[in-house]
A and B are shown apart, each in its own frame.
Chain A
């Protein structure tokens, strides 16, 4: 069944519910609360599951939205609809400020930071005169359409759920775009994303602000439904509840947020009304049950409930992209003779340990050069020095005559240097095609807004067609639409190569590309690299497999203990005594 049909059906049901006679108002109100919560949970699901940032402070952004419109409509007499852009601007602005601070926090410092400002803001809301201090603001006008005030829960139901559905669609569109791929790539860490030109901090900020805008929208709606605003619903407790909804629904599933919001709101109702009626003592068990369920959920179903539900839906068959207009390609001047990449005296010191010891070599245009050496020789570190992941202690690296030492991975990507990783850094849940499309990130232009409004389809089509081309080029055309995690490790390495090729690079840096490949696969890889060389692409590779290296490369550099011990064409290296000594080990 087509998900679009499912969504249309869902929308139809929601639209019709208030019109059905006999449905108690109580249920409509409850549904309204679910909708308001779903908006916040949706943003949070994006933030935690996709962006990898857990925030306990989302409720504060609801507060910004709610208070902004409360002040505007009561003190300044604005029309509620006019106050909507103001609410969004205030929440968004606050998100930019807080986001600049928060997204730079790494690991578990980030959620701790959100707890800090979440708390500070809660107390701030309760202490400002303009916000009515602890009494808050009341007498907020309701929304009206053509001078009919929407005071009846049945009437308010529609703006709330229209907002939820539009938000869900926009967010889904965002995730299914160039920016969306960048956001999803960040979940696995910055290294791979930055190597393809993605600005990690800006991308995280985009997610943060998007989530805050959804929360601000929820706050605006809340203010005009409840008609009174105090600090209580905007504190840490609410923040924890929203996080709970995201966890229940399943981090990363946009529509799972609706499920999570629904289940948790229902649970709260049951605990607040039903249980005390049964137990009879007015004992509030809400907090206890929440806590227990949360802990149990983490032990039993860490991915939330949505994956189980989604498994019940038939999978949508995904088809390979249609051919589209080709992206502009880099012209490589194969006539030039000056070396492309030059390392001079590159050194990396970690305290007393010298990992890379004054290594110098060059990679010429249209050459395949291999960097070999026993385990721990410093090959990966040298690689990281070239790609800007690690800073040089001394020495320089130049590319095409210009010095690149000290620049970061994004700048290096923009110069046309693409790389693969020793430990494969693909997103196992994204398809092969999407992973490869990440490589073409710098060749696309569509931004956040065009993604959400689906104006990016042409740009997307060209990016995906390019990615498809590269997937076929490396011989994995049959696996294009499979999740990358389902491929064998050797094949995943080849996907990484396709991703690097999607960048249309001038220099390709491959970190152990042949590891885990079977014999005929190595042959195919060698053929591919030879073809690239003929097209003028230069390759620097780190490898252990000597057979692979000997038959393919023009020039070999051998490292041991961080120092260059030999350099030359394969025939020389094959019989070089120092090389044999280094590999087989000195006699004890």
Chain B
């Protein structure tokens, strides 16, 4: 195999890897803060891609119905929580705004904007705006009521959410596959490689997102609060950081990152309502290799996964998935052996 093909495969791998990196980081973030292994992250990516593609095609995306529907369900969940903690007008108002008013407004904006041909930038912003609230709403509906349950129960709930989302995806997006137009027709020669404008967009946006997240966690109080919850949940509560606050914020970030990943992927390949699962799983592999703990390790692992996938596809395309998923096993064994034994007597 000559150097050109090697470079070509590497470049392909890194481009995909960048997307897996964002996915993986979102998974690690959610797990660290809420202990939920968030299998449906892939659905956020797929829905983001589909939403963006539909907007670019001048149509109203089904996401608005998801948003409003989840909003209603989350409001019911908030009402149930209020019944336990004692009713208060302030809590009711806050819930109504976050669950009903904001989704409703976003739906209206989308309805006005769709078909007006406002350009990729506006569609990018609108897609992120539509998908991001889905995170906290899902958290309220499915995970907050069992927040204290074991990681396993949360994982099973995660699987349940995944099943529901795939089904809803079919209902609201239909069975057709969609692909968005490339962000630019730019083609740049870098040595023997031909780098497309789309790839450059992927690298740039991914880097910006990673840096932005890093700044958020290092420099802002809310970011530190999230880190604190991940490090010591009880300690966080003792300084007044509400568990539901951390959960909501973590899920919002994950959904936002998912939406961005989706928009990046949309022009690169045809996305269907159920493509999210496989993409999510690859980000998942990266997160596991990173120990479900470290963001930099996850990002690097993601690049590796992208590269492995690229090479496997070239040499034995049938075995591509088998290779990628089998990768997890030795890593899991290693992680399991080196993880501290939790059951010690105190």
Contact = CB atoms under 8 A, between A and B. Distances in A.
B333 A104 contact: yes
B282 to A, nearest CB: 11
A319 B345 CA distance: 35
A285 B152 CA distance: 26
A125 to B, nearest CB: 10
Of all A-B residue pairs in the complex, the 8 with the closest CB atoms, nearest first, are A291-B164, A287-B167, A294-B160, A288-B167, A291-B163, A116-B328, A295-B160, A108-B151
Interface string B116-160: 000000000000000000000000011001100101110111011
Contact of A243 (B156, B321, B325, B326): B156
A291 B161 CA distance: 6
Interface of B: 37, 141-142, 145-146, 149, 151-153, 155-157, 159-168, 170-171, 281, 288, 318-319, 321-322, 325-326, 328-329, 332-333, 335-337, 339, 341-346
A294 to B, nearest CB: 3
Nearest to A52: B152
Given A283-B171, A287-B163, A294 B332 contact: no
B328 to A, nearest CB: 4
A240 B159 contact: yes
A70 B239 CA distance: 62
A113 B171 contact: no
A116 B157 contact: no
25 contacts: A54-B156, A101-B333, A104-B336, A105-B333, A105-B336, A107-B151, A107-B342, A108-B152, A109-B336, A109-B339, A111-B155, A112-B328, A113-B329, A117-B329, A119-B321, A288-B163, A288-B164, A288-B168, A289-B167, A291-B166, A294-B160, A295-B157, A299-B145, A384-B345, A389-B345
Given A119-B281, A240-B159, A105 B332 contact: yes
Q: Which of A116, A247, A421 has the most CB of B within 10 A?
A: A116
B343 A191 contact: yes
A353 to B, nearest CB: 14
Interface residues of A, number: 48
B32 to A, nearest CB: 13
A421 B346 CA distance: 11
B337 A104 contact: yes
A158 interface: no
Given A101-B333, A123-B322, A422-B345, A294 B145 contact: no
Interface in A266-288: 283-288
A298 B156 contact: yes
Contacts of B288: 112
Given A120-B322, A285-B167, A109 B156 contact: no
A292 interface: yes
A105 B165 CA distance: 29
A116 B160 contact: no
Interface in A161-190: 189-190
A120 B332 CA distance: 15
Contacts of B337: 104
B325 A294 contact: no
DSSP class of A's interface residues: helix, strand, loop or mixed? helix
Given A104-B333, A104-B337, A112-B332, A298 B167 contact: no
A287 B160 CA distance: 9
Interface of A: 54, 56, 101, 104-109, 111-113, 116-117, 119-120, 123-124, 127, 189-191, 240, 243, 247, 283-295, 298-299, 302, 380, 384, 389-390, 421-423
Contact of B326 (A109, A117, A287): A117
Contacts of B156: 54, 243, 247, 294, 298
Contacts of B328: 112-113, 116
Contact of B155 (A105, A108, A191, A384): A108
A418 B214 CA distance: 52
Contacts of B152: 54, 108, 111
Contacts of A119: 281, 321, 325
Contacts of A101: 329, 333
A291 B329 contact: no
Nearest to B327: A116
Nearest to A116: B328
B236 to A, nearest CB: 21
B155 A423 contact: no
A54 B166 CA distance: 23
Contacts of A288: 163-164, 167-168, 171
